Amino acid sequence: MAQVEKRGGLLRKSSASKKPLKEKVVLMYDEIFMTEDPSKCSPRFWEELFLMKVNLEYLEGKLESLDGEELMKIKDNINCLFQHCIQALGEEHPIRVVNALQTLCALIRGVHQKNKSTSGFDIINMLMGFDKAELCMKNLMESLDSLLCAEGSESLKSLCLKLLLCLVTVTDNISQNTILEYVMINSIFEAILQILSHPPSRRVHGYDAVVLLALLVNYRKYESVNPYIVKLSIVDDEATLNGMGLVIAQALSEYNRQYKDKEEEHQSSFFSALTNMVGNMFIADAHEKISVQTNEAILLALYEAVHLNRNFITVLAQSHPEIGLVTTPVSPVPTTPVTPLGTTPPSSDVISAVELPLDADVQTSNLLITFLKYSSIVMQDTKDEHRLHSGKLCMIILTCIAEDQYANAFLHDDNMNFRVNLHKMPMRHRKKAADKNLPCRPLVCAVLDLMVEFIVTHMMKEFPMDLYVRCIQVVHKLLCYQKKCRVRLHYTWRELWSALINLLKFLMSNETVLLAKHNIFTLALMIVNLFNMFITYGDTFLPTPSSYDELYYEIIRMHQSFDNLYSMVLRLSTNAGQWKEAASKVTHALVNIRAIINHFNPKIESYAAVNHISQLSEEQVLEVVRANYDTLTLKLQDGLDQYERYSEQHKEAAFFKELVRSISTNVRRNLAFHTLSQEVLLKEFSTIS
């Protein structure tokens, strides 16, 4: 008997002696693509269609092959198919429901492919007809809501979420997707929350549910009242918020794990040995090889939760076992193609690992720690556009956290100490720190470490000015909290001071190149004012009097850098150039730093001369400083502990529009044919009762 091969809806005999046979479902599709009503000659046409296994590829391909005019001719049949799909969702037989859901996916995607500006037809009219659209979408959303909330098949729920993701992402700019107006009116918000609050559902569908919610929140968010924003902002159910936090933590942990695996694999490779041999000449290239795709979709979900819902802040500190240290049996997971934005869900072994009970031998973690580790990886390389976007979003999330009173309370809580192993960029002049020696400290120390790490590793030709401004703002907001609440944080402040001075030196040495692109005086002013915060209010939040002495020592030791900065800004503020005003602000801000230098330097020189010492030790300099505090006069500077609160709509709208566009494009790419395939579903519903 000749072997039968199936391809593109054809049943073809290998001998090729006869014409290829089309499978029945393809013949039925062909009838829909005629201008006649297919049910005229066959009254049971629609009933039979939804018993046939859907051929997604053929149906979408057929829709794409038609031009706008040809599609308009069969509009009535497409309307009819769409309506019968919705009717089939209410059927008792799961096979019919599955086939209807898949057909809807193909229809929505196929018709949208034709929605170019030249096609001249309206999507809603083409799919449903204007007169029936409202009722159609009401019925569709109610059916999807029922399926998602029912105690039925998990595969069926998964397909419902895939259909919703398909519906939301068919256009690059989701705010131009007019069908979403009906998704706003007929909300599925409660269904999404139910999935996140119910552990078994969350393990299977949590990732899709969180990404779907993040996208829906961004529909026309600046133009009209979005019900998903309103509802998300007032959620206070602990189980739901914790569920959302777990899904985000799992996805970020999966990224961290993949990076760590690649890093270890890379270090043991021949290339790594060669790198060491030639004195780290190729360290930059070596680092490039261990990059892992970033996940902006899940990061956007974290941002929306932190930004919109104050109750979610508590979730950041919820303890769970360190993902990756707990081992569980791993079941095979179908692979999903990785695309530039990496919105593929984490594998299920990570999801199950996280929800195990806490073990005394396992390092506990929380969402904030996982996020800080993720940020430390993503921020290492900002040359790539996606990583730059990820780095910016990480900084924005940290800005929101640094402004929140409750977040600051647990960040600075001495009773909540953790070892946070941040990833550090390989650099020639420093050794990799041993992970085991990490101290247990309040979480704010890890945030400050991350900011210091960013400052010292991004002084480069392609200067990320925007990220530096955000980084300094995060540090400033944390200092404002410490000053206000008189929190004396035991932190190695000298590392921060040193990083800030080195950044000033970089700005000065690259003045001409940087000024061609950026107003570097904005950043210089912020850095100088951080020092002014320490000088003016340091006695209220520095841990010991000796810390305050060390601050003065560091300013005096690096006086040349401050002198050079003053010379530079004075030169530009006395010229009538474009930087006059910006530079003069820095000139005024340097008044106390210059007073300290001019007051102590002569006294240190005098001490050295009297005692015949050519080079004073640190302790000797500190002795001079302590003895001469009383005669130092400083000016009181206003507004050092004030800052402008973060505002998305006025300053970040363009960034978020572009970010959501790229996430939408990527989610659509990941909804490949196999993610909608019937293999699992057919096994589950192998018999129709």
For residue 380, give the nearest of 344, 349, 425 by alpha carbon: 425
Provide the pLDDT confidence category of residue 331 given band limits of 50, 70 and 90.
Answer: very low
Three-class secondary structure of residue 624 per DSSP: helix
CA distance 528 to 540: 19
The pLDDT, as a whole number, for residue 677 is 58
With a cut of 50, say whether residue 270 has pLDDT above it: no
For 254, 295, 362, 533, the CA distances from 320, given in Å and listed in that order, are 15, 21, 10, 36
Q: How many Å apart are CA 80 and CA 95, to the nearest integer?
A: 20
588 pLDDT band, cuts 50/70/90, is: very high
pLDDT bin (cut points 50, 70, 90) of residue 525 is: very high
Report the Cα–Cα distance between both ends of the chain, in Å, rounded.
Answer: 34
The whole-number pLDDT of residue 469 equals: 97
Helix or strand (DSSP H, E) at 169: helix 154-169
Residue at token pair 């799909």: 85
For the segment 502-510, the average pLDDT, to the nearest whole number, is: 97
Average pLDDT of 596-609?
Answer: 94
- Give long-range contacts, CB 8 A cutoff, 24+ apart: 554-559: 554/494, 554/497, 554/498, 554/501, 555/531, 555/593, 555/596, 555/597, 556/596, 556/597, 556/600, 556/601, 556/604, 556/621, 556/625, 557/621, 558/501, 559/597, 559/601
Query: What letters, b where the CB count within 10 A reaches 16 and e where it falls short, cover 296-323?
Result: bbbbbbbbbbbbbbebbbebbbbebbbb
For residues 658 and 530, what is the distance between their CA atoms, to the nearest angstrom? 32
Beta bridge pairs of residue 10: 7, 22
pLDDT tens digits for range 185-215: 999 999 999 999 999 999 999 999 999 999 9
* Average pLDDT for 76-104: 92
Least confident of 10-19, 107-116, 137-146, 635-644: 10-19
- Give yes or no for residue 6 having a pLDDT over 60: no
Backbone φ, ψ for residue 124 (5° rounding)? -60, -45
* HSE-CB of 483 using CA atoms within 13 angstroms: 19
Q: Band of the pLDDT at 325, cuts 50, 70, 90?
A: very low
Q: pTM of the prediction?
A: 0.88
Report, as an integer, the average pLDDT of 561-577.
Answer: 92
Question: What is the per-residue DSSP string for 87-102?
Answer: HHTT-S-HHHHHHHHH
Determine the average pLDDT of the residues in 321-337: 39
pLDDT at 535 over 60: yes
Handedness of CA 374, 377, 380, 385 (dihedral sign): negative
Higher pLDDT, 27 or 427: 27
* pLDDT tops 60 at residue 5: no
**Which pLDDT band, with edges at 50, 70 and 90, does 678 fall under?**
low
What per-residue confidence (pLDDT) applies to 118? 43
Please say whether the beta carbons of 137 and 128 come within 8 A. yes
State mean pLDDT over 328-351.
39
Q: Could you give the 3-state DSSP secondary structure of residue 34?
A: coil
Q: Residue 265: what pLDDT?
A: 79
> What per-residue confidence (pLDDT) applies to 269?
65
Tell whether the model's pLDDT for residue 305 goes beyond 60.
yes
Question: Number of C-alpha atoms within 13 angstroms, CB side, residue 205?
Answer: 28
pLDDT at 343 over 50: no
Region 16-41: what's the mean pLDDT? 79
Q: What is the pLDDT of residue 324?
A: 43
Average pLDDT score over the chain: 85
pLDDT bin (cut points 50, 70, 90) of residue 360 is very low
In which band, very low, low, confident or very high, does the pLDDT at 689 lie, cut at 50, 70 and 90? very low
CA 281 to chain centroid, in Å, comes to 33
Phi, then psi, of 66 in degrees rounded to 5: -85, 145
For the CA atoms of 678, 679, 685, 686, the dihedral, rounded to the nearest 10 degrees, stands at 130
Residue 546 half-sphere exposure toward CB, CA atoms < 13 A: 5
Cα 75 from Cα 105, distance rounded (Å):
17
pLDDT of 442: 96
Report how far residue 524's alpha carbon sits from residue 582's, in angstroms, rounded to the nearest whole number: 10
Would you state the pLDDT for residue 303?
98
- pLDDT band for position 435 (50/70/90)? low
Q: CA 309, 313, 318, 321: dihedral to nearest 10 degrees?
A: 90
Three-class SS of 497-551: HHHHHHHHHHHHHCHHHHHCCCCHHHHHHHHHHHHHHHHHHHHHHCCCHHHHHHH
Look at residue 151 and tell me whether its pLDDT is greater than 70: yes
Pick 15 or 367 by higher pLDDT. 367
Domain locations along the chain: 24-186+660-688, 492-647
Alpha carbon distance 666, 662 (integer Å): 6
Rounded CA separation 235/430 (Å): 46
Coil, strand, or helix at residue 13? strand
Place of tokens 């980084």: 471
16 has pLDDT over 80: no
498 pLDDT exceeds 70? yes
How confident is the model over 116-141, as pLDDT tens digits? 544 445 889 989 988 999 999 999 99
Cα separation, 79 vs 125, in Å, equals 8
Least confident piece of the model among 171-180, 201-210, 670-679: 670-679
Structure confidence at residue 119 (pLDDT): 45
| Mean pLDDT value across residues 82-107 | 91
Q: What is the pLDDT of residue 40?
A: 80
Contact assessment for residue 283 and residue 429, using Cβ atoms and an 8 Å cutoff: no
DSSP 577-596: STTHHHHHHHHHHTHHHHHH
Token reading at 111: 């018709």
Is the confidence at residue 61, as pLDDT, over 90? no
CB burial of residue 293 (10 Å; 0-12, 13-18, 19+): middle
Res 598 pLDDT > 80: yes
Hey, which of 46-50, 67-71, 156-160, 519-523 has the most confident mean pLDDT? 519-523
Instruction: Check if the beta carbon of residue 87 is closer than 8 Å to that of residue 133.
Output: no
Between residues 354 and 597, the one the model is more confident about: 597
Residue 688 pLDDT level (bands cut at 50, 70, 90): very low
Residue length of the chain: 689
What is the arithmetic mean of pLDDT over 412-432? Answer: 82
